[in-house]
A and B are shown apart, each in its own frame.
Chain A
């Protein structure tokens, strides 16, 4: 114990306390008779001592005033304890058969595991770990008694003794001492020895006793060890040592770690562990261009030559190249998203941490970085191993590591030639260029190992270099991908030209025929209208029906196209499908453009004319109703008539004048004319056609039914008009009083009576008008009675309201001197206005709540 300047020793089955200066015995702890081992813990404020005797554990505490240990407690053990160490508030005890953890103050015992036959051994190591011997293994156990590492340290044979000297665990074997790294557990050194007996370590020095001699082993300063490890390419060990080595400035340590890790990453690549190498490259933020340069054919030669590597990097070929490319296509997307990433969302990170905690699987980037707190543990803080020479300063050559311009995710580091770094540096200062290199290389790599993902990359927002990729894709005859490339770069003309060429040159395959072009064109939208018009011409000419979907597909782009330009375009290049497009415009898109409605009407009309020419009527046939048509004429006239009736957006006058130009028989298309005339408001002419041209009274009445609307001036008198047509026909045609009477009787309510009576010829027999007058009188008196009832109802309602008013007016409240406001509980003065709620609560007017019906 340094502070107390005393030593504790076990001799002659007693524990002795000695003065450190002259090694004189101060006391012999007489209670410790038969002691076989002891454990001293001087780390706390009060040093503690635990001693094993045959059947007991004895505990002592330092008593400074007496300058010795004073007895504290004893615990009885079932068998003799062979080894003991302190573990926090407990002691870990090795019995012959098993290890136990014994809590000192409560005495409760937890059995850990059997010793496995060998002598039990307990050794304290840093980070609250105990190493317990079990056959040829040393198991790491925490102070809670639970194994703290998955893997136990395995010696070549059963060790006689183990000792800890930062940062190594030493094992004394029958013919040698094995030195193993505490962190990686790898064998670092084996020192041959004959007949070794004991092993112990204090600070950095290790003492070994053989039968005849005692050795002191002193470790090389850590920086030298690190250098040697790096030279021997034992990078994992070197990284561990660098992480824990004391006395290195934090920045220097980081730089050195970076350097060794970089070497490690490249060495992994050389060994063919491509995935591991790439993971490390990503963590170290190595310039991706330098990694890409390791592959043949990905970067242009002049770019590849700019890089220097720590080793002779192999030229990748064959299966090795494939394996490396597989790793590359996993690495580059990571770089890609890191470059795109603006700022890593905090919660995204939190979710990942949750995932790590729940699954124990490391997904975050900093998997290799161990907490640097190892180095700060008190065991190693001693001045004993202070290196005088620090070669760490020489291991990192700042000129070989150049920090590139800051990327959004951090900085990129690359190896460059110190003689002339300018060329490469200026190239990548811009992350845009880096993105371009990454995406272009990713595409090339995909083409080699995962061709189907090439399309995915080209479809999304990418930074592929056009000419480079174009070159590769053309060489590989990947036209589908080439089109996607052009599309993603907005080079639509190039795409479309190629698609047209491919469609003509290929008779089969995915790029043959007009479909690829059609699918391409319908995604372009109004911004590229000129291209759509230009490149739809050949498709409209060769595949008019399929071409229509360029203009009718159901997506935003197609909906943005101006429909009248498209109509003109289709009319001039594929008139056969113009009607289909117009129908789409009118019926599907519900266009209200009268121009387009007129066009559709003309189209239907033309179809009728064509059909008429194909099947000319006999001269004497007279007018034919649509319902009586047969064959094509039935269809086309039906279409025309339905459209004329349904649409309200065409201009009837224009259609009529077109009809006039056609110089058809006067009796031809009577029904259509009637609809058009009605559209113009000439119901009289329309009805004349029904009554006299077609001699169909039902149709005439139907017409009235369709158009009658008491709200519209033009349609209000349509029945009256029909009556007029019957009773006062144009000259040379005899009047038809009978249907007129029927109409009057059937629709009396929709006809203006005085005007109708005026129209009646004077010789009309009154008897025939009897039903008419009957109906008129009945309906008039009905109206009169209904109004009477309404009037009386309203009057009684009026009386009710008046009564209520009188009641409300007669209601009063008394405001006396002690009448308080219900809200502020102050008196209501006569000068103040007040409010009364329905339940007679009175408040100040200003205190009243907004809702006048709810008492506060």
Chain B
């Protein structure tokens, strides 16, 4: 690998209000959890340095307000994102049913080069409340498969279940996206400037 430059990955967390976006980010970055709910206003971000496949990368994790969908945030937040994390609450079906909207809004606002292959990661949060669960693993997995094999994790920010693993995958996929973009070569043989001229028979009669 020739490029050993410092990599900054922009990760955006989206999802309905109260599904635990801020908690997940806090658990991952600060290893802290508070069961008190405080609505995020606007947006904020935290950074964390992680090793991904022998590379030191800085993850810049953007936490957003779930209450107001995009309106107050604007395109600037989403441009240049390397990965988008969609979070829902496994105990609230509505938050799962809204994943589609979050994904669509993100794609439109961020305008990635290849929307079909942009890395998303889905987190089904609050699995610690197992007895209230309404969205089965199977149902969530089906949706993720349908949307292009999005990786799916079931997490608990409260009990720190799968949070580390989920964010590791997020970093890995974001890094892959970043590398793909870095290449930036036009597809080979896209434009042939010099078509070989058709061979003409040189008659000599």
- CB neighbours (8 Å) of A344 from chain B are 72, 74
CA distance A348 to B41 in the complex (A): 7
Stretch touching chain A among B23-31, B42-50, B122-130, B170-178? B42-50
A329 to B41, CA, bound (A): 28
**Residue on A with the closest CB to B139?**
A554
A555 in contact (CB, < 8 A) = yes
Whole-angstrom distance from the CB of B184 to the nearest CB of chain A?
15
> Distance (Å) between the CB of A266 and the closest chain B CB?
22
A453-B97 in contact given A347-B41, A351-B45 (Cβ < 8 Å) = no
Q: Does B34 contact A (CB under 8 A)?
A: no
Which residues of B sit under 8 angstroms from A359, Cβ to Cβ? 8
**CA separation between A347 and B74, bound complex, in Å?**
13
B75 x A342 contact (CB < 8 A): no
- Interface of A, secondary structure class, is helix
Bound: A442/B71 CA distance, A: 17
A450, B115: Cβ atoms under 8 Å?
Answer: yes
Asked if A343 and B108 make an inter-chain contact with CB atoms under 8 angstroms apart, the answer reads no
Assess the A351–B74 pair: CB atoms within 8 A. no
Which residues of the partner chain B approach A457 to less than 8 Å between Cβ atoms?
104, 108
Question: Could you mark each residue 444-475 of chain A with 1 if its beta carbon is under 8 Å from any beta carbon of chain B, else 0?
Answer: 00000010110111011000000000000000
In the assembly, what is the distance between CA of A208 and CA of B96, in Å? Answer: 76
The 8 Å CB contact of A364, one of B41, B68, B76, B111, is: B76
Q: Are A459 and B93 in contact (CB under 8 A)?
A: no
Beta-carbon contact of B111 and A329 below 8 Å:
yes
Minimum C-beta distance from A340 to chain B (A): 5
Q: A338-364, CB under 8 A of B: which get 1 and which 0?
A: 101111111111111011000100011
Q: In the bound complex, what is the Cα–Cα distance between A343 and B68 (angstroms)?
A: 11
Q: Which of B76, B93, B115 contacts A453 (CB 8 A)?
A: B115
A592-637 with Cβ < 8 A to chain B: none
Number of B residues, CB within 8 Å of A: 32
Tell yes or no: A333 within 8 A of B by CB: yes
In the bound complex, CA of A345 to CA of B65 (Å): 11
**In chain A, what residue has the closest Cβ to B109?**
A333
Q: What residue in chain A is nearest B68 (Cβ atoms)?
A: A345
CB-contacts of B9-43 with A (<8 A): 41-43
> C-beta contact mask, B120-148 vs A, less than 8 Å → 1, else 0?
00000000000000000001000000000
CB neighbours (8 Å) of A460 from chain B are 101, 104-105, 108
Q: Looking across the interface, which residue of chain A has its beta carbon closest to that of B97?
A: A555
Q: Nearest-CB distance from A476 to chain B (Å)?
A: 18
- Given A337-B75, A556-B94, are A456 and B115 neighbors across the interface (CB < 8 Å)? yes
Least CB distance, B114 to chain A, in whole angstroms: 9
Distance in angstroms between the alpha carbons of A333 and B100 in the assembled complex: 18
What A residues does B115 contact at CB under 8 A? 450, 452-453, 456
Which residue of chain A has the shortest Cβ distance to B64 in the bound complex? A348
A interface footprint on B175-200 (CB within 8 Å = 1, 0 otherwise): 00000000000000000000000000
| Residues A459 and B104 in contact, CB atoms below 8 Å apart | yes
> With an 8 A cutoff between CB atoms, is B7 at the interface?
no
Q: Is A330 an interface residue (CB 8 A)?
A: yes
Q: Contact at A351–B71, with CB atoms within 8 Å?
A: no
Contacts of A110 in B (CB 8 A): none
CB closest chain-A residue, reference B79: A363
Using Cβ atoms and an 8 Å threshold, which residues of chain A touch B103?
456
Contact A334 to B41, CB < 8 A, known contacts A457-B104, A457-B108, A555-B93: no
| Interface contact B75-A347, CB-CB below 8 Å | no
In the bound complex, how far is the Cα of B75 from the Cα of A329, in angstroms?
12
Instruction: Please indicate the chain A residues that have their CB under 8 angstroms from the CB of B8 in the complex.
Output: 359
Closest chain B CB from A851 CB (angstroms): 28
Question: Which of chain B's residues have a CB closer than 8 A to the CB of A336?
Answer: 108
**Residues of chain B within 8 A of A363, CB atoms compared:** 76, 79
Inter-chain CA distance A738–B175, complex, in Å, is: 84
Per-residue 0/1 for A153-181: is the Cβ within 8 Å of any B Cβ (1 yes, 0 no)?
00000000000000000000000000000
Q: Which residues of A contact B104 (CB under 8 A)?
A: 455-457, 459-460
B107 within 8 A of A: yes
Q: Is the CB of B76 within 8 A of A556?
A: no
Of all chain B residues, the one with the shortest Cβ separation from A458 is: B104
**Number of residues from A at the complex interface, CB < 8 A:** 38
Please indicate the chain A residues that have their CB under 8 angstroms from the CB of B71 in the complex: 337, 340-342
Min C-beta distance of B40 to chain A, whole Å: 9
B42 & A333 in contact (Cβ 8 Å cutoff): no
| Distance of A327 Cα from B115 Cα, bound (Å) | 16
In the docked arrangement, what's the CA distance between A354 and B63, Å? 14
**Nearest Cβ in chain B — how far from A525, in angstroms?**
12
Q: Which of B50-78 contact A (CB under 8 A)?
A: 65, 68, 70-77
Q: For the complex, what is the distance from the CA of A659 to the CA of B109, rounded to whole Å?
A: 65
Q: Which residues of B contact A355 (CB under 8 A)?
A: 45
Residues from chain A with Cβ under 8 Å of B97 in the complex: 555-556
CA of A457 to CA of B109, assembled, Å: 10
The listed residue with most A CB atoms (<10 A of its CB), out of B8, B93, B105, is B105
- A363 to chain B minimum Cβ distance, whole angstroms, is 4
Instruction: Check A342 against B43 for contact (C-beta < 8 Å).
Output: no
A523 and chain B: residue at smallest CB distance: B97
Complex alpha-carbon distance, A334 and B71, angstroms: 10
Expressed in whole angstroms, the minimum distance between the Cβ of B113 and any Cβ of chain A is: 9
Chain A residues with CB below 8 A from B100, complex form? 459
Identify the interface centre among A330, A337, A455, A457: most chain B CB within 10 Å of its CB: A337
Taken together as a complex, chains A and B put the C-alpha atoms of A222 and B79 apart, in Å, by 39
Kindly supply a per-residue 1/0 record for chain B positions 73-87, scoring 1 wherever the CB is within 8 Å of any chain A CB and 0 otherwise.
111110100000000
Q: Is the Cβ of A351 less than 8 Å from the Cβ of B43?
A: yes
A455 to B42, CA, bound (A): 27
- Residues of chain B within 8 A (CB-CB) of A342 are 71-72
Q: Contacts A456-B104, A456-B108: A347 and B44 contacting too (C-beta < 8 A)?
A: yes
> A346 with B108: in contact, given A337-B71, A452-B115, A555-B97 (CB under 8 Å)?
no
| B43→A453 contact, CB < 8 A | no
Inter-subunit contact A556/B116 (CB<8 Å):
no
- Residues in chain B near residue A555, CB distance under 8 A: 93, 97
B69 → chain A closest CB, angstroms: 8
Q: Give Cα distance in the complex from A355 to B8, angstroms.
A: 12
Which chain B positions have C-beta within 8 A of A452?
Answer: 115-116
A693–B107 Cα distance when bound, in Å, is 72
> Which of A523-573 touch B at CB < 8 Å?
554-556
Assess the B72–A330 pair: CB atoms within 8 A.
no
B116 to chain A, nearest CB (A): 5
**Chain A residues positioned under 8 Å from B116 (CB to CB):** 452
Task: Give CA–CA (A343, B94) in the complex, Å.
Answer: 26
Q: Decide: B41 and A352 in contact? CB cutoff 8 A.
A: no
Contact between A337 and B109 (Cβ–Cβ < 8 Å)?
A: yes
Option from B42, B44, B65, B70 in Cβ contact (under 8 Å) with A346:
B42
Given the complex, which residues of B lie within 8 Å of A329, measured CB to CB? 111
Interface members, chain A 377-412 (any B CB < 8 Å): none
Q: Which residues of B contact A554 (CB under 8 A)?
A: 93, 139
List 4 A-B pairs, minimum CB-CB distance, nearest first: A348-B42, A456-B104, A347-B42, A345-B42
Please name 6 pairs of A and B residues whose Cβ atoms are closer than 8 Å in the assembled complex, sorted by A.
Answer: A336-B108, A345-B42, A349-B42, A455-B104, A459-B104, A556-B94
A residues whose Cβ falls under 8 Å from a Cβ of B: 329-330, 333-334, 336-338, 340-352, 354-355, 359, 363-365, 442, 450, 452-453, 455-457, 459-460, 554-556
Known: A344-B74, A442-B108. 7 other contacts (CB 8 A): A336-B108, A345-B73, A347-B43, A456-B108, A460-B105, A555-B93, A556-B97
